[in-house]
Structure 1
Amino acid sequence: MFSGTVFIPMQLGFDINTAIFFSGVSTLLFFVVNRGRVPAYLGCSGSAVAAIMSISGYKYQPGVPNDNIAAVQGALIVLGIVYAAISLIVHAFGHKWVEAIMPPVVTGAIICGIGLHLMTSSFQQATSSFFDGVMAFVTVVVIMFFSVYAPSPFLRRLCILLGTIVSYVIYLICGLVNAGPRIDFSNIVAQPWVRPPIVHWPVVFQGQAISTMIPLVIVFLAENMGHLKALSAITETSLEKYLGNAYMGDALSIILCGSVGSPPLTTYAENMIVLSVTRIYSPLVIVSAAFIAIVLGFFSKFGAVVSSIPAGVFGGLTIVLYTIIAITGVRIWMDNKVDFSDQRNMFVGGIPVAIASVMQTQLKINHFELDGIGVSTFLALFLYQLLFAGEHIKTWLRQRRQLSDTLP
């Protein structure tokens, strides 16, 4: 689960130690809200990357922090409050209405679109220079090698971490023999071994930032529901009835993260993969991992080492991460046997993904602003309701007819 806890926050310029520390705190909060019934470790989903980069204007540079997160924090707090309100509605009326609004063809399109949308910035970062492009290619190849040829399933699941370490060493050697730029270790030397996580204050509530962030609530609703269904299949336990609690756990985590200056921490797909491989669902193991993360968050040298990863290596790494996100959306379609010979599914699934992959500018209407992910999300929801409206009306009329037939 290293990538969601460390690498995505690093791309956003957040303090690594703060992200690690609050991933542990957020996991414990989620554990308490769900009373230990939903096995999940919280990390940073790739869904929020584009919105945060748009609001803060940050582009990744090794060792350079994001100093413009105050408006991001305010937007996250508002997002968390809206998310919490929806969780209360789910508590009151059940979760079936969420599934009706966001069936698999919609959720798959949203998540696949996120991965493809983020791929553009990763590719630009990976090819900022010829040497960076070469190292990005090397990083992708090394990660794929570990993923396919590592001798054990455990090592194959560590492919991203191992591939990053090997590529980092290759980059370091190239610098030492003057075959490429040298890695700057000055920040690592300057950092103390131990320091408390950095908390950012004050928080700024900015209308444009909030309008950019709010559409993510739909993405998080879809992701969390998909994760809970995956957990139900993995653990062979019906967990859908806890969806309201899971939403509330995510929402409170986002509010906490916005208050302290951490990236938004929610349930995310890599957690499901780890659980499916290890077959360890014990709440005590997840709680132990959370406490380890809290302790690790105080070791600032660790965060400094991670922050020194060169742009080329990091670009290759994020290409892999966002490919995994895109394929996760495709797997939702496959697992739920979405029929793309049905023209309606083809349009609902295809058009939003295409828009997300090519739209790298903002849609601005007065103070309301949407990026490619936000536009594709609303488009997927709208197209589904538009194209399946006739079927929904027929179903409703049939149910009314059946009900009237049963009445005396």
Structure 2
Amino acid sequence: MWSVHGDGRRVRDGAAVAANERLSWPLTVGLGMQHVAAMFGATVLVPAATGFPVTTTLLFSGVGTLLFLLITRNRVPGYLGSSFAFIAPLVATRDEGMAAQLGGVLVAGLLLMGVGIAVKALGVRLLESVMPPVVTGAVVVLVGLNLAPKATEAFGHQPVVGIVTLGVILFCGVARGLVAQVSVLIGVLAGWVYAAVTGALDDDRVAALSAAGWFGLPEVSGPVLRPSVVLLVIPAVIVLVAENVGHVKAIGAVTGRDLDGSVGDALIANGLSTTLAGAGGGSGTTTYAENIGVMALTKVYSTAAYAVAAIAAIILSLSPKVGALVNTVPEGVVGGATLLLYGMIGLIGVRIWLANRVDFADPVNLLVVSAAVVAGVGNLTLTIGQMRIEGIAWGSAFVVLVYPFLRWWRGRGAEVSDRRPRG
């Protein structure tokens, strides 16, 4: 599947290892482990924050990555890790039970596959017409900031641990090279170690770690479809679409190749990965910017390294000890990390607006986004019959449905004005 780059022992000066190439297998395994290090902190943070089983999440992350490489035909090097877009709806629906939450993840995966099929058939411009930047950015902002109170609450339970975690992430995040790419992992480890040294770990979880076996199958659970939960999770699809398109374009920029023709395949692959996770007990997945950073640093774009990382994740998922270890992460560490991560998700939406020069002097953009973001961030919650619908669903539905209507209405008004006789 991969041709050997040069002599397989090094990257030639001024060259790069292409997606369909590889170095020697020992070097490729080492590079794969580097990708594991880059993705691990973020991937396990999602189940740590939502209560999903860590080993199951790792399993579907590895399987999803292998499917991604297969469906994109080794053209798009990428790793599918846990998506932060699912944290807000999954935490908000925790009282509904894990089976109902998995039903939401399953539906989100199916919808994402549908978007991918449509893009593959009609072209990537379809996304630009159905979900313009003003809409996509608004949904990303409200999904990222909706859970801000949860982050501050967790931070407040163990503020010193949270400060240590956040401080290390910030310090490493402004460094250069690989340290910046794995800053979240380093910060989580630092806060974790500090909590262990100061006796801030939960005794019951430490006891569970001691009792956990080294080898065992991941916990597999089945989904249940519940409309109130599905409505809350569906907006995550818009975030996943934005992430996937952005990441494919970023990979294209890093590798110097036009990968727009692979956007549909990437969406289908991520949708299938998320669907399988929802069917079996894992969180939804997305392509990881952390791993793109590793590629940019090493100039090694080989999909073989990603295949190694995926296999490593599957092997890690077969150890209950790994899951029990991650479960010992104290609340202050989660609070310190999510305080930053939730804000970063929101700012990704702002970056979408800036990159596409969204004009907020336009009353349609200004009015629709204002109402949608406040509904989402303020967590507007209404009960209709037996269905409880929260802010993410209301805000997303408002901007997706009302924006095109008001844009049409304003355009219609302009046409009527132009047809009026002058003088």
Q: 1:137 to 1:248 in 2, by over 3 A?
A: same
Match of 2:355 in 1: 335
Tell me, in whole angstroms, the C-alpha distance in 2 between the residues paired with 1:71 and 1:274.
36
Range that drifts further, 235-244 or 203-212: 203-212
Letter in 2 for 1:207: P
Match of 1:224 in 2: 244
Q: How does 1:59-138 map to 2 (within 5 A)?
A: 68-128=97-157, 132-138=158-164
Cα deviation, residue 349, structure 1: 4.1
Q: How does 1:155-194 map to 2 (within 5 A)?
A: 155-175=179-199, 184-194=205-215
> How many percent of aligned residue pairs carry the same amino acid?
35
Tell me, in whole angstroms, the C-alpha distance in 2 between the residues paired with 1:309 and 1:10.
8
Q: 1:143 to 1:216 in 2, by over 3 A?
A: closer
Tell me, in whole angstroms, the C-alpha distance in 1 between the residues paired with 2:180 and 2:57.
25
Tell me, in whole angstroms, the C-alpha distance in 1 between the residues paired with 2:188 and 2:327.
12
Tell me, in whole angstroms, the C-alpha distance in 1 between the residues paired with 2:253 and 2:385.
45
Tell me, in whole angstroms, the C-alpha distance in 2 between the residues paired with 1:260 and 1:385.
37
Structure 1 gaps of 5+ residues are 59-67, 398-408
Cα deviation, residue 357, structure 1: 1.8
TM-score for both structures, normalised by structure 1: 0.83
For residues 5-45 of structure 1, what are the alpha-carbon distances to aligned partners after superposition, in whole Å with 9 as ceiling and x for unaligned?
A: 11012211111111112211011111111112222211111
Tell me, in whole angstroms, the C-alpha distance in 1 between the residues paired with 2:294 and 2:397.
31
For residues 258-313 of structure 1, what are the alpha-carbon distances to aligned partners after superposition, in whole Å with 9 as ceiling and x for unaligned?
A: 12111112224444444444443221111111111111212222222221011112
Cα deviation, residue 378, structure 1: 2.0
1:146 aligns with 2:166: no
For residues 64-84 of structure 1, what are the alpha-carbon distances to aligned partners after superposition, in whole Å with 9 as ceiling and x for unaligned?
A: xxxx31122233333333332
Q: 1:299 to 1:37 in 2, by over 3 A?
A: same
Letter in 2 for 1:163: G
Partners of 2:151 and 2:339 within 8 A in 1 = yes
Q: 1:12 to 1:195 in 2, by over 3 A?
A: same
How big is the alpha-carbon RMSD for the aligned residues of Structure 1 and Structure 2?
Answer: 2.7
Partners of 2:113 and 2:271 within 8 A in 1 = yes
Give the counterpart of 1:257 among 255, 269, 277. Answer: 277
Range that drifts further, 83-92 or 11-20: 83-92
Match of 2:68 in 1: 30
SS of alignment partner, residue 43 of structure 1? strand
Match of 2:219 in 1: 198
1:297 aligns with 2:320: no
Cα deviation, residue 110, structure 1: 1.5
Q: 1:164 to 1:75 in 2, by over 3 A?
A: closer
1:48 aligns with 2:86: yes
Q: 1:39 to 1:381 in 2, by over 3 A?
A: same
Range that drifts further, 318-327 or 76-85: 76-85
SS of alignment partner, residue 229 of structure 1? helix
Cα deviation, residue 229, structure 1: 2.9
For residues 212-260 of structure 1, what are the alpha-carbon distances to aligned partners after superposition, in whole Å with 9 as ceiling and x for unaligned?
A: 3334333333332233333333333222222221221122112211121
Letter in 2 for 1:111: V
Tell me, in whole angstroms, the C-alpha distance in 2 between the residues paired with 1:394 and 1:283.
52
Match of 1:10 in 2: 48
Match of 1:247 in 2: 267
Partners of 1:81 and 1:251 within 8 A in 2 = yes
Tell me, in whole angstroms, the C-alpha distance in 2 between the residues paired with 1:390 and 1:74.
37
For residues 349-371 of structure 1, what are the alpha-carbon distances to aligned partners after superposition, in whole Å with 9 as ceiling and x for unaligned?
A: 44433332221x53333455533
Match of 1:314 in 2: 334
Partners of 1:211 and 1:368 within 8 A in 2 = no
Q: 1:118 to 1:272 in 2, by over 3 A?
A: farther
Match of 1:400 in 2: none
Range that drifts further, 281-290 or 331-340: 331-340
TM-score for both structures, normalised by structure 2: 0.81
Q: 1:394 to 1:24 in 2, by over 3 A?
A: farther
Q: 1:376 to 1:31 in 2, by over 3 A?
A: same
Match of 1:64 in 2: none
Match of 2:404 in 1: 385
SS of alignment partner, residue 238 of structure 1? coil
Tell me, in whole angstroms, the C-alpha distance in 2 between the residues paired with 1:231 and 1:387.
35
Letter in 1 for 2:168: V
Letter in 1 for 2:236: L
Letter in 2 for 1:164: V
Letter in 1 for 2:208: N
Letter in 1 for 2:391: G
Letter in 2 for 1:153: G
Q: 1:349 to 1:280 in 2, by over 3 A?
A: farther
SS of alignment partner, residue 326 of structure 1? helix
Tell me, in whole angstroms, the C-alpha distance in 2 between the residues paired with 1:238 and 1:374.
35
Partners of 2:270 and 2:286 within 8 A in 1 = yes
Tell me, in whole angstroms, the C-alpha distance in 2 between the residues paired with 1:34 and 1:122.
36
Match of 1:65 in 2: none
Range that drifts further, 377-386 or 298-307: 377-386
Q: 1:380 to 1:332 in 2, by over 3 A?
A: same
Tell me, in whole angstroms, the C-alpha distance in 1 between the residues paired with 2:354 and 2:255.
20
Partners of 2:139 and 2:238 within 8 A in 1 = no
Partners of 1:107 and 1:223 within 8 A in 2 = no
Aligned residue pairs: how many? 377
1:323 aligns with 2:343: yes
Structure 2 gaps of 5+ residues are 1-38, 417-423
Cα deviation, residue 387, structure 1: 4.2
1:235 aligns with 2:261: no
